[in-house]
Amino acid sequence: MSEAELRAAITRELPGVRADLERLVRIPGIAFDGFDHTQVDRSAEAVAELLRGCGLDTRVVRSGGQPAVIGSRPAPPGAPTVLLYAHHDVQPTGDLALWESDPFEPVERDGRLYGRGAADDKAGIMAHVAALRAFGDALPVGVVLFIEGEEEYGSDSLERLLQEHRDDLAADVIVIADSGNWDIGVPALTTSLRGIVNCFVEVRTAEHAVHSGMFGGLVPDALTALAKLLATLHDDDGTVAVEGLVSPGGAVVDYPEDRLRAEASLLDGVSFVGTGRLTERLWTKPALSILGVDAPRTAEAPNALVPSAKAKLSLRLAPGDEPKSAYAAVKAHLEKYAPWGVQVEVTFEHDGEPCVIDATGPMFDAARDAFRTAWDGVSPVDIGVGGSIPFIATFQEMFPGAAILVTGVEDPHAQAHGPNESLHLGEFARVCLAEALLLRNVANAAA
């Protein structure tokens, strides 16, 4: 199909694609513990119905976790196969009072579609569906759609699913639609992502709480000890101070400071932390954050010295680092710098590999050309992402011969994972066209 024919086909299909996206958004498929997992089952079945409607041989699968959906159509003789990935589960909503509308009732405001999962990642699913519908029976490549059901909860069963269905998922090109674009009007290919190590540190000072007046000034309390210990994790400028972590830097794209402050909702007077280019600090250097602390609530705290306190830490690993050695470095640091001889226990929660993608070769050229056409001559930017998609490293390991293209539908204002998540509808139309053009270009590049 020509570019003009694909543009017309996408325009024709977009109203139905949007309607189906809204139907998906209405399903609260949250894979976290404590939520109704029948909704995740319902979400998987809705996705399976969409893929069957595209003529794909489709089944719902699971391997001890939440349901994924696999749909496939064989390649025409001599044509390559493309694996299209997205996920149908979503993040919890958080505080509903912070939402301007019901998170599971999609609403359009100012050219954006609001709702949990509208961007991350149900729009990724529908971009795949839009491209398939545009081609109809004239699809120039083989396709395998793999739509995961627990990405937001850590993808615990993903590696087992990939192993069990490895032959069915084998492809020449893998498109992972779970990232974002550089800006509205500027597409991007994601070429590096940080890894992750989450752990807990607990400090203990006494067998039980004691009177703060009778013993204060002599006996250390666990909260003060924990605060003092956590303060050693960063230098005065905010740089991570844990020895043994990889910190290569090297990002080359500039991030406008005013834009970054606005996107991060940083308050007036609050400075950035760390050193180096902003994009290095975001993409290619480690970051260590304190996500939470278990301690008495202020409204209920007695005048007593707290005997134990616990914090959750999240380390984002620079590309090139390794989760096990990074965890060992953090654990060693916390044990070394424990003040006043307090007892320290560090426990592991989960980790994920960082990754770097060599985005060169004919399939990446095909992708860049598709993006350039869909965005009316604007070339895509190669970006890093400070967040983590650990399974990309798994795909790299299991399918070493495949070109992995990390794309997405989000923009800097999407607020994925936060309240009022939204999708820019104009950019979504470009994403759908870009994917259709990509499939055509991949077929041409392999001819």
pLDDT of residue 254: 85
Residue 111 CB partners (closer than 8 Å, separation 6+): 424, 425, 426
Say which of 13, 150, 151, 351 is annotated catalytic: 151
Strands 188-193 and 381-385: parallel
Strands 81-87 and 173-180: parallel
pLDDT of residue 435: 98
Task: Name residues of the chain where pLDDT drops below 70.
Answer: none
How far apart CA 401 and CA 11 sit, in angstroms, is: 34
pLDDT digits (tens, 9 = 90+) for 83-124: 999 999 999 999 999 999 999 999 999 999 999 999 999 999
Residue 8 CB partners (closer than 8 Å, separation 6+): none
**CA 161, chain centre distance (Å):** 19
pLDDT digits (tens, 9 = 90+) for 373-407: 999 999 999 999 888 888 898 899 999 999 999 99
- Cβ–Cβ < 8 Å for 192, 384: yes
pLDDT of residue 271: 96
Is 235 designated active site?
Answer: no
Percent of the chain with pLDDT over 70: 100
pLDDT of residue 389: 84
Say which of 89, 120, 351, 369 is annotated catalytic: 89
CA distances 429 to 9, 113, 175, Å, are 11, 12, 17
pLDDT of residue 120: 95
Is 243 designated active site?
Answer: no
- Cβ–Cβ < 8 Å for 49, 131: no
pLDDT of residue 440: 98
How far apart CA 323 and CA 328 sit, in angstroms, is: 9
pLDDT of residue 253: 83
pLDDT of residue 198: 96
What is the per-residue DSSP string for 288-327?
EEEEEEE---GGG--SEE-SEEEEEEEEEEPTT--HHHHH
Look at the block and give the residue holding tokens 């654990």: 331
pLDDT of residue 447: 78
